């Protein structure tokens, strides 16, 4: 009886090692979008399973801090009675009111001293989903020589999407960490549509493990 032929497959080195193109380097920055308590389970405007984005986002935060690369964290910083609140005819329950516990960053999110905090939607009469809307984030990224922006946070279909659109419009290359974002999905499929829109813009999608593997 003939013995079955055994074929040995030898993987190229690139298949055995992490993608070095995803390793943070000079010219890169991290943007953590609205990782605030009110958007996490138990918060006033909780994203379902939003807490699952915290560990991968913290891995990225630690990596960028260790490499002394720029870190920015956006936050909703609403005045009381903000126009986006239902009590004022807006679409959302009151959330992330400046100075309240719900507006604080997620537990364990210890920003480096040099991190840039970007407060948005600070005027009662106007909302702002993008971290660039009404802020100086674009100017600060330019001053830091940033060419590529890694993005994580909440929520995929609102503040993450709008921030990514504006970053691309500024000429930045954008990497979105798929396991470090989550959608509100007010309408079923909003999150998927947001991902499709970002893909059309030429965004690179990656998993946090592919980035943190070089840490």
Band the pLDDT of 14: cuts 50, 70, 90.
very low
Residue 63, C-beta contacts closer than 8 angstroms, at least 6 positions apart: 24, 211, 212, 215
Q: What percent of the chain has pLDDT over 90?
A: 88
pLDDT at 2 over 70: no
Q: Which domain holds residue 90?
A: 23-212
Amino acid 7: pLDDT: 36
> At 64, is the pLDDT very low, low, confident or very high (cuts 50, 70, 90)?
very high
How buried is 50 (Cβ within 10 angstroms: 0-12 exposed, 13-18 middle, 19+ buried)?
Answer: buried
Helical pair 190-200 and 161-169, crossing angle rounded to 10 deg: 10
Higher pLDDT, 17 or 58: 58
List, edge to edge, every strand of the sheet that includes 71-76: 116-120, 71-76, 28-33, 148-154, 173-182, 204-206
Task: Please say if the pLDDT value at position 8 is more than 60.
Answer: no
Q: Is residue 41 part of a domain?
A: yes
Per-residue pLDDT at 19:
65
pLDDT at site 11: 39
Question: Is there a domain that residue 120 lies in?
Answer: yes
Q: Is residue 6 part of a domain?
A: no
Buried/exposed 166-175: b ≥16 CB within 10 Å, e otherwise: bbbeeebbbb
Is 17 a domain residue? no
More confident residue, 215 or 151: 151
In a domain? residue 134:
yes
Whether 2 is in a domain gets the answer: no
Catalytic residues: 34, 120, 159
Write the DSSP symbol of residue 36.
B
CATH of the domain at 98: 3.40.50.850
Tell me how many domains the chain contains: 1
């Amino acid at each position: 009886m003939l013995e079955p032929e055994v074929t040995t497959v030898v993987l190229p080195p690139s298949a055995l090692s992490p993608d070095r193109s995803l390793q943070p380097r000079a010219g890169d920055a991290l943007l953590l979008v609205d990782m605030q308590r009110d958007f996490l389970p138990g918060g006033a405007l909780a994203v379902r399973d939003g807490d699952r984005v915290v560990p991968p986002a913290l891995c990225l935060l630690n990596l960028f801090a260790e490499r002394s690369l720029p870190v920015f964290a956006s936050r909703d910083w609403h005045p009381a009675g903000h126009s986006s609140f239902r009590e004022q005819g807006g679409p959302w329950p009151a959330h992330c009111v400046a100075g309240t516990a719900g507006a604080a960053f997620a537990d364990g999110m210890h920003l480096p001293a040099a991190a840039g905090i970007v407060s948005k939607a600070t005027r009662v009469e106007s909302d702002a989903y993008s971290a660039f809307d009404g802020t100086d984030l674009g100017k600060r990224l330019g001053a830091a020589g940033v060419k590529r922006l890694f993005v994580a946070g909440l929520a995929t279909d609102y503040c993450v999407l709008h921030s990514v659109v504006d970053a691309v419009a500024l000429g930045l290359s954008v990497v979105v960490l798929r396991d470090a974002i989550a959608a509100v999905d007010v309408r079923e499929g909003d999150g998927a549509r947001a991902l499709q829109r970002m893909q059309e813009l030429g965004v690179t999608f990656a998993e946090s493990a592919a980035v943190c593997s070089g840490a």
